[in-house]
Amino acid sequence: MKKRTEDLIHEIMESKNISTYIDTNQDEFLDTTLYQHLQNLLAETDLKISQVVTRSYKGEYIYQVFRGIKNPGRDMLLCIALAMELGVRKTAQHLRVARMPLLDARNRRDSVLIFALERKLTVPDTNDILYELEEECL
C-alpha cells in the first residue's frame, strides 16, 4: 500500500472505468486474511501469542483468534491492538484487514480508544477511563 486512501477515492471518482482503476491499483488492495495479518504483527512486534493473551485479558479466546478458529469482533481486535501496542495507524490497518469500522475521533468512545492506543495504555487502564466516562468497556 503506497497511496493514501483519499487519493484512491479521488481516482475512483475520476475514473471512467472501474476495471481500469482496479487493474492499475491491484497492489493497493488488502488481500490478506486476518490470520495472516496477525501472524505478520507477531513477527513485527517480536511478541508471543501468550504475551498478547496476558496483556489483552481475554484468555483462551485470543489463542483461537490467532489460530484462525474464531472471527473476532471490533472490541476484541481493539484489545489485541492495545495488547500489542500498535498505535493508531497500525490499528487502522488492523481494523481494515478485519473489515471493521475504523476509529472515529468524532465518537466519544473511539476518542478514548485513540487516546489509549497512542499512550500505550493497558486494556484495564483503558476500561477504567471508558467506565469513568460512562462508555462501554472493551
Residue 21 counted as domain residue: no
Q: What is the DSSP letter of 101?
A: P
pLDDT tens-digit readout, 37-94 = 999 999 999 999 999 999 999 999 999 999 999 999 999 999 999 999 999 999 999 9
Residue 123 counted as domain residue: yes
Q: What is the DSSP letter of 3?
A: S
Residue 24 counted as domain residue: no
Residue 53 counted as domain residue: yes
pLDDT at res. 90: 93
Residue 4 counted as domain residue: no
Calpha distance 123→138 (Å, rounded): 8
pLDDT at 138 over 80: yes
Residue 14 counted as domain residue: no
Q: How many residues does the chain have?
A: 138
Provide the number of structural domains found in the chain.
Answer: 1
Residue 3's alpha-carbon distances to 13, 15, 22, 86, in angstroms, are 15, 16, 14, 21
Residue 85 counted as domain residue: yes
Structural domain range at position 99: 31-132
User: DSSP states of 8-27 as a string?
Assistant: HHHHHHH-S-HHHHHHHTGG
Residue 10 counted as domain residue: no
pTM tops 0.85: no
Calpha distance 92→89 (Å, rounded): 5
